Structures are given as structure tokens and as C-alpha cells.
Structure 1
Amino acid sequence: MPSDTSTLLMTRVTFGRALRRLRSEVHHLTLVEVATSLGCDDSLISRIENGKRACSQEHFAALMDLYEVPSPERDELARLHAAARDRRQPWWSPYSDVISAQYERFIGFEAAASVVHEYQVGILPGLLQTEAYMQAVTGVGFASLGPDQIETLVEVRGLRQRHRLLETETPLDCRYVISQAALDFQVGGKRAHQEQLRYLLEISTHASVDLRVIPYEKGEEAAQIGAFMILQFADEDVPDVAFGESVAGSLTIDGPRNLRRLHRLFRGLTESAYSREESRDVIARTLSKEE
């Protein structure tokens, strides 16, 4: 069963993985075969297994019979199924008219994660940004949106900071690597840049924030890799999930092979970066040049 801190999304993901294991590993059935047996579309089964859709009571009963699940395991899955159909809304639900389905899914993963590994080339990690910095990058990244919508997205990012880092008893363990260029870019103007650097010096002392900077001298290490993030979860049964940036938007990465590669990349980037203390010195020197 999920812990009290699990979100509805993660409960659905855990439930879906259990169903996928029964289908693929135990009974060696395809999505089409299961869908045919239930009289539904195979895309519905796929979405349930991926945690993207709740499973109806009718389909749950049919799946338990099809997979011949014994009573003890069926009872456990029934409790998980009930939790996955919980109607309580997460804190970000009032913003669903502005945030995309992909972003909402990301927030759900972030809300349930225990550790984040993030690499950024030209901007700072979202949970470390000041409001002025958020305003500037959101205004550019979502230029097609109106001022009110941009303001709402900034509010959502601020709430993510509060819920996952600043105002929680169980803060996210944040492990960040950034390029030195991300410190030098003036985002939002000179005053906003100075404010952001001061905030970085402050937040980098937070017990849950490990911020490291790759120096210009190691440019070959930093410049050839795009931004990415890996989320890990306290529940060992829940696999890591990663997000990569592209011109088409954020990409979800959950294949074991790709995840192993990203973990290896992040370890290499961390080894190329300054230590936490040295990174703070670089931030301080950058700030002194701006004042």
C-alpha cells in the first residue's frame, strides 16, 4: 500500500504496474488480448497500466478474474484500487485550466518524489528561482499566453517551492548541477539578477539543497548535454522517472536503459563540478562583479 505522503498519481502508477506485471510477466498476455477479453479498447488498458486513468470497478473485477488473482493478493489490490479512485483533489487542481496535462503529471511525480537529480545548462532549477526570475523565464517560455496565465504559472511554481522545499517537514532532497553560464545570464535585468544570486547563496545552505557549479574550464562536460531531471521515490517498488528538455517541450523518460544512462551522466557531471563550498564561492564572486 502507498504511504500517507503518496499522491493520487503515484497510487495509480503503483496500481498500474501491479496490473502490468500480472498481465505481462505472470500470464504473458498482450494488451490486445486483455482488451478483447474485457470488450474495451487496448488504449484504455494501456492508460490504466501507466497510471494515466482510473480503473472502473467493473474492469477491476474482470481483470482479477482474468488474471486468476488469489484472495490475499486480490484484497491488497482492491485496497490499492480504492485508493487510486480517491476523489480528493491535489493542491494544483485549481490550476488545471492553465497547466498542461504533461505539467500536471510532472507535478504529481514531483509531489511524491523523495530525491531529485537535476542538471541545467542556461537557467536555474525551478525550485531555486526567485519570483522575478520566474516571471522572466515564464514570460519567454510561454510567450503565447496572456499576462494572467503567465502570472498563474508563476504562482504554481512558487507553490511547488513551498510544498516541496520551503514549508514542509519532508523536503525534497535536491541535488543540482548547473553550468557556470547559468549564473552569468542576466534573467529579468540587473536587479533581478543580483536578487537571484543572493537568494542562491541563501538557499544553497538549506539542508536539502546540494547545488554544484560546473566551471567554464570544464565546458566540454557541460555544453554537450541538454537539461534533464531524474525523480526517485522512497517506495522501492516505484521506479525512477526522468524528464528531458527539447524544442518540443518536456519528454518523459522511464525506460530502464535510458534511466541508467542519465544516472551515469549525472554522476559524471557532479564529478566535473565544484564542491558545494566551492560552488558557493563562485556564486559569491559572480554576485560581487554585479554589485
Structure 2
Amino acid sequence: MQKLQLPAPITRFAPTPSGFLHIGNVYSFLITWLLARKNNGQILLRIDDLDQERVRPEYVENIFRTLEWLGLDWDLGPSSVEQFEKEFSQLRRMELYEAALQKLENEGAVFGCDCSRKLVKKLIEAHNYEGICQHKGLELHGPDISWRLKTEGMAVVQMKRFKNDTTVEKLSYAQSHFVVRRRDGIPAYHLASVVDDVHFGVNAIVRGEDLFESSVAQLYLAQKLGLGTFSHAEFFHHPLILDGGVKLSKSQRSSAVLDEFSQDKAKLFRKLGGWLGLQPEACGSLDEMLKQFSFERVARTNSH
């Protein structure tokens, strides 16, 4: 198997407690676990709970129960719901996020926006979004104002990838002038994710291939924030698993793993192993998967 370039990889599970973990989550976590263990790396459990309106205690509990049931262990982060809430919730790192936002404000790298998400989405889909609020001079700290990053011009980003490094010369239209601070004042996902990864020393990031553009946006944001260490992180974007042509996700109400496979973990492992390109006899346990796993063999099949 091709090895990671990093001498001491640190990767992470980064679930959002806005629903129960489904098989798509588990597929990504399994790849993360196998890559880390194959490369003598460490795994951080980072639960992204900034969006408190969507967080439910049962969803947080489900993260721990599912990972423990699967046998996917981790090395860093909380070992229980209680420790997560007391020490590792993103709410405990608000000062770090606010410092990053302050830096962007001080450098004039953001502008205020009062556009609705619906309008911006419509303009992006029409390839006609140019940051229409950028020249309105809206007060950043006014009510109901989001902060968007100025992304006009060339945005050359170097991305270290598991096989071949990539140079991206321009952000995608979908990521044009992306939000770094929401209208309610909460730091947006891209900013919090970058700050967290740097804070915890994460340098190997496993994501679905649908998040490639998000990775580029975060590398660009890290440049703006002067967080050079993030540019050395190694990215692995894995194929997606689709259900009837639709990406598995909480928003699509994909079935919770513990509901669907609680009585037959072996069936789940066979399904996951097949997606990873492993033979059935290599899917009986995590140890057997670890012996046979290699990125080169990850199945390109993305439907079931």
C-alpha cells in the first residue's frame, strides 16, 4: 500500500450531532480508521456542535454508541458525552474562532452581506454571483449581517493529496465569497473547521469526494488567516456511496446504522468491505480489514 507522506499523521472523525450516524458516515470513518492505523497515526474525535439549534443530546450519545459498537477507537478527544460537553464542545473554543474572525476583519478580508441564502444559491447556480454586497458598505456588526470572505481574483491553492498533489487556480463558483460568520454571529463551518484542525494538529483529512471544493476553500481561508501548517495537511477524498442515485446523508433521512444493522454487524462489515474492494473473507473483523486494506483497492462502485 502507498503510505502517507506524513511522518506522524493525525486525522479525525468529525461528525455533526444533527442526526443519527448512517452507513455513509461509517464508511468514511472506517476509511479514516484504516488509514490511520495502517500508518501508525492518531485519530481525534471532533464533534462539530456549533449549530446548537440542530444538536440533540440523543445524537451526541449516538456518536459514542455507534463508534464503540463498531470498534472504531480513537486516540484524542472526549471519551464520553460528559467529557465532550465539559471540555471538547466547539462552544469551548469560541475565543479561537473569534480571534480568527477579528484577524479577517482587521485585514479587510471580509464584507457584510444581507442577502438571503436562497438568493445567493440562485445566483451561484446561474454562475452570476459576484458578491453583490461587497460594495454596499454594510456595517459588519450590524443586525442580521453575515460575513463573507473576499475571494475575487486568482486564488491559487496547493493541495497535498494521497496520490498526487493538486494545484487549483480558482475557487469554484459554489465557494465564491463563502460565509465565515453567520447572520446570527456564529462562526461558519469552514472557519471553525480550519481553526479546529490547526488547534488539534490535524494533518491528514479524509472526506467524501463531494467535499473537494470545500477542501480548496478551507486551504484558501487558511492562507488568509496565516495558518501555514494547514497547507501541509494531506487530503484523501474517497468515492461516495449512493442510495438510488442519492448521496447518503442525514438530510435525506438515511437509516441510522444502529437501527439497520444492530442484529447483524457481520452483514454491515461485508457491505463496507465490498465498497473498499476487499474480498468477503477479509471482512469478518476490523483486524482482517486492516491487513488487506489499501487505498488503491477502494472500490469505485458508488451505488447499492
**Structure 1 and Structure 2 fold alike (TM over 0.5):** no
Structure (1 or 2) with the larger CA radius of gyration: 1
> Could you tell me the TM-score, scaled by structure 1's length?
0.25
| Structure richer in helix, relative to its length | 1
Higher relative contact order (CA 8 A, sep 6+): 2
